[in-house]
Structure 1
Amino acid sequence: MTEYGYFLSCEEFGPADLIEQARMAEQAGFQRLWISDHYHPWNDAQGQSPFVWSVIGALSEAVSLPVETAVTCPTVRMHPAVVAQAAATSAVMTGGRFRLGVGTGEALNEHILGDPWPPTTVRLEMLEEAIQIMRRLFTGEQVTHYGTHYKVENARLYTIPDEPIPIDISGFGPEATALAARIGDGYITMMPEESMVTQFRKGGGGTKPVSGGAKVCYGTDREECVRTVRELWSNELLPGEMGQVLPTPRHFEQLMPLVSEDMVRENRVCGDDVEEHVSALTAFVDGGFDVVYVNQIGPDQRGFFDFYRTKVLPQLPR
């Protein structure tokens, strides 16, 4: 049975707006929340980047929906022992309604302390070791660890939830998907590609949950929506590995001319055509996803939630 969630964008909105969006999402009938974990936005036009763990604390009081980071990088900017404490506290505050989504991250957020940005293979090794450390800490035992990438000495979490925190792994290629299948409690990817879901399930993921996310721009003026998407989220239409290796918002802004309005029209749902919105989310259902999250780009958040509550969510397959 497919569930539908709302994707809170810390790159585009400040804490108060995010909390209000979460309330509107719950009232509109969304069943879960994703929230991004960034140090920088992708460009200055997005303009925000609050500390996700503070926002999750506020969410635990504002709504009753389950919350998941999409996604946290527990390897470079923050040591896995620190992420483990933040996640454990979040799980306690939400009454066990928290999942930790993790991935290998982007230089945009992770290079800020001057650490080198490793190649993909090394980042995957770091992520696997980080997950091992966090799972040990989630038990409440005292942990000492001398590994390839991390040291932990006499660390113990005293505030932990009653049940282990599920760790879902993000993957956009075969190597990360294989890691998710082998050690993850679930799989996260942003494209409705059935082949990746199949790889995850056959590689060891079995019936563990698969979650996906889509960005849309609701509005009554389709062309205005196209311009909004291009201004705020053109980074998502850049080819190759640029999203992982470019270090500052300015670099992404320099590449904005590579993304045309036609590219936006072809690749993002813009406007108020109900069938287009329903079709975009149904593609994830058809691809075998268990949870589908949607994010509204731009300022018309209330209009989006009214639109989805009355016209889109009632038509989605369950």
Structure 2
Amino acid sequence: MARIGYTLLTEQSGPKQLVRYAVSAERAGFDFEVCSDHYFPWLSAQGQAPYAWSVLGAVAHATDRVELFTYVTCPTMRYHPAVVAQKAATLQILADGRFTLGLGTGENLNEHVVGKRWPTVTRRQEMLREAIQIIRELFTGDLVDWKGEHFEVDSARLWDLPDTPVAIATAVSGDRSVEMFAPLSDHLIAVEPNRDLVASWHETRRATGLPGQVRVIGQLPICWDPDRDTAVRRAHEQFRWFGGGWAVNSDLPTTAGFDGATRYVRPEDVAASIPCGPDLDAIVDAVGAYREAGFTDIALVQIGDEHQERFLAEAAEPLLDKLRAG
């Protein structure tokens, strides 16, 4: 049975609201919670971007059962990998072993703020590979000196290490990223229900002598609302960027860029790819595509801050019942 998660979407909700939703989502029965790590929202209509690690620290204290993930953190530009390692170890202690570090190559939207040139995708992947190697070294608790192609670490050591080691889940999108990151990661993150990608990940791990069957974590946007037309309007206003695909989404630097790139996306285009309205069976069907592709964990994104509490109070439990029955 796939685990069903809830997304703490920092692009659409403030920090206090996110902590409140995290508690409600745990109470409703979600198995895990993932938190985006953004400096900018995708679109100005979303309107938020609190610091994910402060939010997760508060969530770790406010919840008891749900697993927690970054989904995902880029440990190469806005954050140095040595700092990410420290943050992850501390959060694991606060969460009593419930935390998994989700990593990815990042988006220009968030990383440009530190004034560095946005690298090509090949270089971003190489930077992420080196960053994971550094983080792994620091997780041992040993003193680390590192001088690589992209990063330096000077006599660093983590002094507060959790009893439960921090697992690393890495976001991939194609054969090259699978080949690079499957041997370095514990779990797979992917944003599309691609059966071939999942199979390639397992095969690559087995070829290196690692366990083949690991967790595969995906994410699915939904826009539940008692009124379908209202849901479609909200999804179009706040989530039309989603259809651009990651080749586009990773490179645009501003909310204005995303607004311009999606100005001709119609509400019906969004509704064709995102379940909108009160029909819970439509959400179950969409989750089914991930299950059939071999995903073990699917995190739902309820679009729009203003309907989070109603979604969690009215729809979450019956939806989870349907998903688990299916």
Per the TM superposition, whether the score is higher than 0.5 is: yes
* Aligned with residue 234 of structure 2, among 228, 232, 238: 228
CA deviation profile, 1:183-217 (whole Å, cap 9, x unmatched):
21000011112121111111216111101110100
1:30-64: CA deviation from partner (whole Å, max 9, x where unpaired): 01010000111111111111111111110011112
Distance 1:214 1:45 in 2: 20
Aligned to 1:213: 219
Q: Identify unmatched segments of 5+ residues in structure 2.
A: 207-211
Equivalent position of 1:12 in the other structure: 12
- C-alpha deviations, 1:71-102, integer Å up to 9, x for none? 00000111000111111110111011110000
Per the TM alignment, residue 111 of structure 1 is displaced from its structure 2 partner at its CA by: 1.3
In the aligned structure 2, how far is the partner of 1:310 from the partner of 1:54?
28
Distance 2:317 2:89 in 1: 36
Change (3 A) 1:240 1:216: closer
Indicate whether 1:143 and 2:150 are aligned.
no
Alignment of 1:137-286 (within 5 A): 137-204=138-205, 206-239=212-245, 241-286=247-292
Native 8 Å contact 1:219 1:300 kept in 2: yes
Identity %: 40
Q: Are 2:307 and 1:300 equivalent residues in the alignment?
A: yes
State whether residues 238 and 258 of structure 1, in contact with CA within 8 Å, keep that contact through their aligned partners in structure 2.
no
Aligned-pair CA distance for 1:305: 1.7
Q: Give the drift of 1:292.
A: 1.0
Once residues 324 and 294 of structure 2 are traced to their aligned partners in structure 1, the CA distance between those partners, rounded to angstroms, is: 12
Change (3 A) 1:232 1:133: same
Contact 1:219/1:225 (8 A) holds in 2: yes
Does the CA contact (< 8 Å) of 2:236 and 2:266 recur in 1? yes
Name stretches of at least 5 consecutive residues in structure 1 with no aligned partner: none
Structural RMSD (CA) = 1.3
* TM-fit CA distance, 1:248: 0.9
CA shift digits 1:149-184 (9 cap, x unpaired) = 000001111011113211100012222233332221
Q: By how many angstroms is 1:310 displaced?
A: 3.8
Measured in 1, the distance between the counterparts of 2:240 and 2:83 equals 32
The CA deviation at 1:220 is 1.3
Q: Structure 1 residues 66, 119: closer, same or farther in 2, change over 3 A? A: same
Counterpart CA distance in 2 for 1:179 and 1:222 is 42
SS at match of 2:114: coil
What is the TM-score with the length of structure 2 in the denominator? 0.94
Q: Output one character per residue of 1:10-48: Cα deviation in whole Å (capped at 9) or x when no partner.
A: 011011110111111111110101000011111111111
Task: Tell me, in whole angstroms, the C-alpha distance in 1 between the residues paired with 2:137 and 2:51.
Answer: 25
Q: For residues 308 and 284 of structure 1, do their structure 2 counterparts lie closer, same or farther at Cα, with a shift above 3 Å needed?
A: farther
Aligned residue for 1:87? 88
Shift of 1:239: 4.7
Partner of 1:40: 40
C-alpha change, 1:74 and 1:310, in structure 2 (3 Å) is: closer
Number of the residue aligned with 1:126: 127
Tell me the equivalent position of 1:28. 28
Partner residue of 1:312 out of 291, 297, 319: 319
Could you say what secondary structure the match of 1:4 adopts? strand
Task: Tell me, in whole angstroms, the C-alpha distance in 2 between the residues paired with 1:178 and 1:18.
Answer: 35
In structure 2, the residue corresponding to 1:300 is in which secondary structure?
A: helix
Secondary structure in structure 2 of the residue aligned to 1:20:
helix
TM-score of the two chains, using structure 1 as the length reference: 0.97
Distance 2:317 2:250 in 1: 38
**Distance in 2 between residues matched to 1:156 and 1:162, nearest whole Å:** 16
How many residues are treated as equivalent by the alignment? 318
Pairs within 5 Å for 1:50-65: 50-64=50-64, 65=66
Contact 2:29–2:317, Cα closer than 8 Å, also in 1? no
In structure 1, distance between residues paired with 2:60 and 2:246: 37
Q: Which runs of 4+ in 1 moved over 3 A?
A: 306-310
Aligned partner of residue 113 in structure 2, secondary structure: coil
1:69 maps to which residue?
70
Structure 1 pair 202/59, CA: closer, same or farther in 2 (3 Å)? same
Three-state SS of the structure 2 residue aligned to 1:45 is: coil
Give the Cα separation in 2 of the matches to 1:154 and 1:308: 51
- 1:132-164 deviation digits (Å, cap 9, x = unpaired): 101111111110000010000011110111132
User: Does the 8 A contact of 1:217 with 1:271 survive in 2?
Assistant: yes
